Chain A
């Protein structure tokens, strides 16, 4: 039996735990021929990973074998050798037989939302005891990529905003805030996202925006929510707080009647 058996076996790729997974609609025919991908998505690191896994049937091939007669010894025992292929099912493989084990195709695609931006009014400085208006700008983002030959699409939606004001205080809001003008407010008026500093100094203000994520795959247009949220840092602001009497303005009130303090 000096035959060669070649087995090409693909390793199964396990999904990381914690990923939400669905199998898109799929007919029995597509499932039989390995056209039903299994899709899962989860938040990993600083982005969303969408993974696809698709099984293809294993196959086997062969035909009738040929052999050369053995030589008989005196005591009636013989040896022989043969070459050729044999017909056999996948699980019963023998001489000169090539089989391909069921193959699992695995693919993944990464998505990262574009960070939002943090802005402040007045820009770059604060008046001690008066409100400084911080506001975020972040948008709903839709990104697509190719996964197992079909489109995987992820939608990021900003859902929560976390400010740390650099003076030991912090605030989390569901609103991104807006400029005083957009809210119809006057300068230094309190807003849902404003903050008042008690002491002069230089402060570092950080904003992290939580994005919720959803995805869909292939022909489906139904968004599938991904568990958890993705915190994405925005730009850092560094600003100086001072007393009103020390604040410098660009123009005097006669030239700019709407300027700070006028």
Chain B
């Protein structure tokens, strides 16, 4: 610290001790501009749709295997969502069920975006379509979901290593009275 700076510092301390610091208006620095994770709502929705496609593909694979190797789902869900998914696969395994066919969805709509840990949280509505899914029990009996379509509210959050890469963070069937 040079002489000039020391002198300024000492003066400031002296003024503080004397209670003589003038009340100058506080200047608040504008926070640096932060680039949004997604440039548009459409881009966010597209990222969420891709994430849901990835999730359903892996979930269908695990279900087709009767819940075996369920850890595969960890690549497409957040760490918070993972226990719920693993418990579901465990229930499937205990019931001796497998599924056949592919999950589908349509009518995806963006509900909201919000900052989240390590990036962004994107919530969408989507109609889950299980018309191509059969549930098969251990003796070969086949059942079909009822109804075959259900509106879901789905939240996706940024992968901690890539904020544009979304993972399923929450899944909740929406009000049954809502058309899908």
Contact = CB atoms under 8 A, between A and B. Distances in A.
Interface of A: 21-36, 38, 53, 55-61, 89-90, 102
Contacts of B145: 31-32, 34, 55, 57
Contact of A29 (B85, B137, B176, B177): B85
A57 B175 contact: no
Contact of A25 (B95, B130, B137, B170): B170
A178 B150 CA distance: 52
Contacts of B56: 28
Interface of B: 55-56, 59, 62-63, 84-85, 88-89, 91-92, 95, 97, 99, 103, 128, 130, 133, 135, 137, 139-147, 150, 152, 170-177
Contacts of A59: 135, 137, 141-143
Contacts of B59: 27-29
B171 A57 contact: no
Give the residue among B95, B99, B145, B170 with the most A Cβ atoms within 10 A. B145
Contact of A57 (B85, B146, B176): B146
B1 to A, nearest CB: 55
B171 A25 contact: yes
Given A29-B63, A29-B92, A60 B176 contact: no
B95 A33 contact: yes
Given A23-B173, A29-B59, A57 B147 contact: no
A207 to B, nearest CB: 37
A31 B176 contact: no
Nearest to B172: A25
Contact of B146 (A22, A30, A58): A58
B142 A27 contact: no
A31 B84 contact: no
B88 A30 contact: yes
10 contacts: A25-B84, A25-B172, A29-B62, A29-B63, A29-B91, A31-B128, A33-B97, A34-B145, A57-B143, A102-B144
